[in-house]
Structure 1
């Protein structure tokens, strides 16, 4: 089941926008202990539906007319919950995601 909170719905509704969930790889290198790691974090973007390239790579979910594109190699661990984080004045809103792991 998918749930998108009201603030997030208000932001994307009527603007023909959708949510896209992808993975951001960050490499951590430390010379002191010869440590080289890659950390995967989930990232959620708001895009126009026409900007989503290679739509066959995504599982598509829909909630009240708003689409959520999730990469097929991500694991859905429970109910998907999209929410808007605390908004800072003069900045675009940021969104969070629960129920999916990398």
Structure 2
């Protein structure tokens, strides 16, 4: 049900870090047609477990000792995969998830 890619697992394992998957709302406004809408995108962060606020709002999964907090309002479409995105020099690693929809 849950799998963490080797690169992502190596980054957090042994450092007492966890993954937090939440939703980021982006407001889009268009003056030409007076259109106002919000776009929901998934946001995957790496935090210390003590930094996760409102733990009751998350479903908690664990893989090889690493916890993954997934916001309860998100839908799990298939097996969850947490992976590290392509590394860009001089920028902290970024992470993504598959199998979850907003």
Q: Same fold (TM over 0.5)?
A: yes
- Report the alpha carbon displacement of residue 69 of structure 1 after superposing the two structures with TM: 0.1
Q: Aligned ranges for residues 7-86 of structure 1 at < 5 Å?
A: 7-86=7-86
Q: How many residues align?
A: 102
Q: Quick one: distance in 2 between partners of 1:7 and 1:68? A: 15
After superposition, give the CA deviation of every residue in 1:38-73 in whole Å (9 maximum; x if it has no partner). 000000000000000010110000000000000111
Unaligned ranges ≥5, structure 2: none
Unaligned ranges ≥5, structure 1: none
Q: Flag as ranges the 4+ runs of structure 1 deviating above 2 A.
A: none
Q: Quick one: distance in 1 between partners of 2:71 and 2:5? A: 21
SS in 2 for 1:32: coil
Q: Quick one: distance in 2 between partners of 1:95 and 1:71? A: 16
Q: Quick one: distance in 1 between partners of 2:93 and 2:62? A: 21
TM-score (norm 1): 0.98
- Report the alpha carbon displacement of residue 90 of structure 1 after superposing the two structures with TM: 1.2
What is the root-mean-square deviation of aligned Cα atoms in Å? Answer: 0.5
Q: Quick one: distance in 2 between partners of 1:85 and 1:73? A: 24
Tell me the residue number matched to 2:97: 97
